[in-house]
Each structure stands twice: as structure tokens, then as C-alpha cells.
Amino acid sequence: MQNKEETEEVILKQLLTTVEEHQLIKSGDKIVVAISGGPDSVSLIHLLHRLKSRLGIELYGAHLNHNIRGIDAQMDARYVLNLCEELNIICFIKSADVESYGKKNQLTSEQAGRILRYEFFDEVLKKVEADKIAVAHNKNDQGETVLMRLLRGTGMQGLTAIQYQRDNIIRPLLDVHRKEIEKYCDHHNLMPRTDLSNLTSIYHRNKIRRELIPYLEEHYNPSVLDSLVKTANILKEDYDYIEKQAQTMYKELVYFEKKDQVSFSIPALEKLHPAMKARMLRRAGEELMGKGELLSYQQVQNLLELLDKKQTGKTIHLPMNLEAVISYDKLIFSKEREEEVEPFKEKLAVNDTTYVHALKAGFELKVFPAEDVDKVSKDKFVKHFDFDKFQQDIVVRNRRDGDRFWPLGLSGKKKLKDFFIDCKVERRERDLIPLICHGKDIVWVVGYRISDKYKITDRTQQILSIRLLK
């Protein structure tokens, strides 16, 4: 049986080895430590505090109250605050309604809690200008996660389980067994908080922890946790290589048309191996929302099915107010609009610039003699018209039901809706496209085509130039 000194030697040595091998901490780092109040996080903040001078680091604590366990959750927060006061560590505590957030964003309580936790930790990191966020996953968590994901079905990423470092998140205890952590807490009389739900087998992870792993250790492999962790580490090397190739391919395939929107060419996606195609879809959603592991297996399968059908206008709604839509030969990921675009209409001043608040842009209108034009502008946001044909106010507005337009080069008018379809304009963007109008006529569908009725001819004496200023 280990004495106190032996226990401390084991856990300290393993933490320092993990930190060094994976380069998790460097001298001068400011580290925000996530503290739930349980044994893992309590031992982590205590250990890092003891190693503070040796590692040359500065520590902060952060605790999120999920408001799921009632008075117990409040007691957890008070415990964390008292612990940090004893260690002379600044601590940040926040309360969040995890269940409401989960329902609103179509997430499980576990997913919602993880997202809100890391958003809070990131807030604290920015507030104190820290470098890292330390979380207290241990070796048992790693093995349990591998086994749990294997049982429910997962891919290579799922089996790599928990990483030592992801972006600015580090896990210094990932090579430490839970039994060593519990001994450490006992020896230092830390008295961490206990989540009573962890002591029952009503939850899937708890059943694996308290029933399946002990059974496997007794009847099949006494080192089953070590074997599961070894498997995760082997797969991680393969996964990291594939991800590097996927990142290169993603940069070649994706293009950004607007803020908060990424698009793929469907023909380009169809040329990919199914495994790489799924990676492109996952990465698009995750990079757009800034959230890892955003899309489930089933959601990716739904996206692949959407690609196969190629039905323009077909949309899939995804977590975090994200949607994917087929628009002709493109697959577009974007954030859903929370409200419809309001109709707008504004008069434009001639020989002046008018700012249009609805568009957050301006229009510059100038009139000059026809002989002053050297050549037709190729800029799609600058067009010239026969000014002699304008007898009424010139206005800019968005589309209305029943709008018709006489596109340059055609013999007559057509429905504006049909014109948009011919030009493959996405349905969600049509209300945002400015229309320059004169009376009942659409003079210019901005960014696309002018009206044949207002084109410059040999008889034109004065020219109206209209420029969109973004």
C-alpha cells in the first residue's frame, strides 16, 4: 500500500511527464483551470498550484453552475470558491440554464453543457488574457470514452477519444488513473464534492464505469483501461495524418461568398471518397460555428443524402442555428436568418450620393454628356443608362410580388422570379438584391443585368451613371 509520499510522487511525476512529452505548458503561461468541484478538477488545481513556481505559471479558476442539480450545484460553486480562496487563486463563477439552451439549439443536456462550459472558459481566458484552459480528464475518462463510443458506434475520430491538447485546451492528468487522484485528495484532505448520480448505474457512462469495465478487468484483461488508451493513441496518429490531408483539401474546395457563409461545388464534392466527403461537411459546419464535434453521424448522413438528391432549395436545419441548402450546383452552409427581410424603398438623388440604411451601402448617381463615355464599364456594380428616358424619381427597393423585368438582350419582359432562377440566385438572397426602379420599370437588377428599355443607343445624348458603393 502506498503512503502519502509515494502517492504524491506517482501523480506528480506522471503529470510532469505528460506536460513535458506533449509540451502542454511553458514558463510564463497564464492558465485558466476548469473546476467542477469533483476529485479530478480539485486535484488538478491543487497540483498545479504546488507546481506553480517550478513551472513558472499563473493560475485562475473557473466554475460553471449548470443549474441542473439544484442546491447541490450551489454547494459545488461555494466549495470551488472556498478552495480557490484557500489557494489564493482568483476564481470566476457563472450560472447558466443548460437545459433551456439545449432545447433551443436541439442539443442534449450533455452537448449543451459542454458548449456553455467552454464558452465560459473562453470568456475567462480572454478577460484575464490567459494562454491555456486546463481541464481534468484522466486516464479512466479516456478508456471509458473509447469503450462508450465503440459500443454506440463511431468513426476514427470518436475512437481517438480525448486529446492531450486541442487548440488552447490542455489535459495534464490524462495519463493519471482515477484511483491515484482519489488517493491524492484523501491524503491532502481536500474533500471534493461528489455528484451522487455518478454513484448509480442509471446513466450509460456510469454503467460502463461501475459495471462493464470491472467485469472486463476481472474476466478478460486486468489492464483493459491501458489497452483502450493505447488503442486511442495509435488511432490518433493515423487520424492526425488524415486530418492534415483533409485540411489541405478543404482549403482547395471551400469558398466564402459572404460573411457567415461557406459553399462547396457539388460536382467537386462528388469526386471525393465518401470518407473525405464526410470530413469536408463536418469541417464546414464546425469552422463556420467555431465549435468542434458539432455535427452528429446522422446529421452528416442527412447531408450526404441531400447531396445525392441535388434538389435546389432543399434545406437541412442543423444545431446552433446552422442550415445547409442546395442551390443549383452548390451546397451552402450558413447561419439561419432569425427574421424576414423587411421591404424597403428609398429615393436616389441625381448628381449626389445617397446612403441606403437597409442595405448598409450607398448609390452614387452622375449625369454627363454621352460623348464623355470612352467604353462600357465591366464593373458589375457600375452601369450606364440613357438619362433622357428618365422622367420620374429614381428609387431603389427590394423585390415585390408580381415584379417583371426586361433584361438587356431579350425581346420582352419576364417575371423577376424567373430571371433569378435563370441566374441561379439563391432563394434566401433574392430579397436582399437592390432593384433600381423608374416608375413601374425595373431599370437595373444590381449586380446582374440592366433593362433593355434603358440601354444607351446612338441617339442617347445624356448618360446616367449609377454606382453601388459598399
Looking at domain 254-335, its CATH class is alpha beta
Domain 4-233 sits in CATH at 3.40.50.620
For residues 38 and 245, what is the distance between their CA atoms, to the nearest angstrom? 39
Per-residue pLDDT of the chain (470 residues), as tens digits, is: 455 566 567 899 999 999 999 999 999 999 999 999 999 999 999 999 999 999 999 999 999 988 777 788 889 989 999 999 999 999 999 988 888 888 888 787 878 888 999 999 999 999 999 999 999 999 999 999 999 888 888 888 888 878 899 889 999 999 999 999 999 999 999 999 876 555 444 457 788 888 999 999 999 999 999 999 999 989 988 988 998 999 999 988 888 766 678 888 989 999 999 889 989 988 888 888 776 667 878 888 888 888 888 888 788 888 777 888 888 888 888 876 655 678 899 999 999 999 998 888 999 999 999 887 766 667 889 999 999 999 899 999 999 988 999 999 888 899 998 898 888 787 778 888 999 999 999 999 999 999 999 999 989 999 999 999 98
The partner residues of 404 in beta bridges, in order of sequence, read 415
pTM of the model: 0.60
Strands 352-356 and 361-369: antiparallel
- Residue 347 has phi, psi (to 5 degrees) of -75, 140
Q: Enumerate the domain spans of the chain.
A: 4-233, 254-335, 345-469
For residues 288 and 267, what is the distance between their CA atoms, to the nearest angstrom? 22
Amino acid occupying residue 12: L
Domain spanning 345-469: CATH 3.50.40.10: yes
Helix ranges (H only) for 335-448 are 416-422
